[in-house]
Amino acid sequence: MLVAERYEKIVQLVNERGSIRVSELSEICEVTEETIRRDLDKLEQAGRLRRSHGGAVSVKEHQNPEVPFFEREVTNMEQKRRIAREAVNHIFPRDKIILDASTTAWYMASMIPDIPLTVLTNSIKVALELSSKEKVEVISTGGILAPRSLSYVGPLAERALELYHVNKAFISCKGIHLQRGISESNELQARVKQQMIGLADEAYMLADYSKFGVSAFAHVARLSRISTVVTDSEAPQDQIEQLRDIPVKVIQV
């Protein structure tokens, strides 16, 4: 493959997927990662893509702005409450868990009984919801405040997460795609959720039917990194069966 052809291939892949990692480009193009990094630098200088941590993102795909929390909490509200209620059934006394900044995690926080429990979260809403439960210890990550989601993101939040290990992480997302995996609306949220999945023995993905088949801007994780998907009865059955073939446990409520 000529250098010019490799450049075009890289740009094509980045635009198709929204984002891609150096290691993956190295395998596809059959060149070293160092060569790919130099290619990405040149392509960024030409304005054809944007470098990100460990890879590149498309400049043609606009980042989907985060929907404000107050709007998300009333979207598919009944489905989210059913999902949250089921997820709470998987929490036991003395567990150490993560709740992310999703509205479904907030519903979970409101339903969790006052039992001995350690909860690590980057959500202001979740921390406030749990503050009245005397037996629940709450640890907040800190970091840069994302006002639309009322969550903490950025390097400080990521470093705070590195300090811990938990039994279970309960996380939602912008999209679940059978080929492209779990995705989020922006890179900052995606990186925090990557960390959350990585430090948990079990990762529960809380996703209502509207999340299936969606590939959002920033990649979070492969589907194989998820232990259990909790969704509602309206989720597409063909995709549910394919998830089970991965295999990922799926619970529908």
The ranges of the chain annotated as CATH 3.40.50.1360 are 69-252
Strand 181-184 relative to strand 218-221, pairing = antiparallel
Domain 69-252 class, CATH top level: alpha beta
Q: What is the CA radius of gyration of the chain?
A: 19
Q: Which of 52-56, 210-214, 247-251 shows the lowest mean pLDDT across its residues?
A: 52-56
User: For residues 144-180, b (16+ Cβ closer than 10 Å) or e, as one string?
Assistant: eebebbbbbbbeebbebbeebebbbbbbbbbbbbeeb
The reported pLDDT for the residue numbered 206 is 98
pLDDT digits (tens, 9 = 90+) for 39-61: 999 998 887 888 877 788 877 64
Chain segment 216-228, per-residue pLDDT in tens:
888 999 999 999 9
Fold of 3-57: Arc Repressor Mutant, subunit A (1.10.10)
Overall pTM surpassing 0.85 (yes/no): no
Q: What span, in angstroms and rounded, lies between the C-alpha atoms of 77 and 106?
A: 12
Pick the most confident of 5-19, 70-84, 168-182.
168-182
CATH 1.10.10.10 domain locations along the chain: 3-57
**pLDDT value of residue 239:** 93
Please determine, for residue 181, whether its predicted confidence score (pLDDT) is greater than 60: yes
Say how far apart CA 179 and CA 201 lie, in whole Å. Answer: 24
pLDDT at 1: 76
Q: For 10-22, what is the mean pLDDT?
A: 84
CA distances from 58 to 16, 21, 202, 233 (A): 8, 12, 31, 34
Return the pLDDT at 47: 78
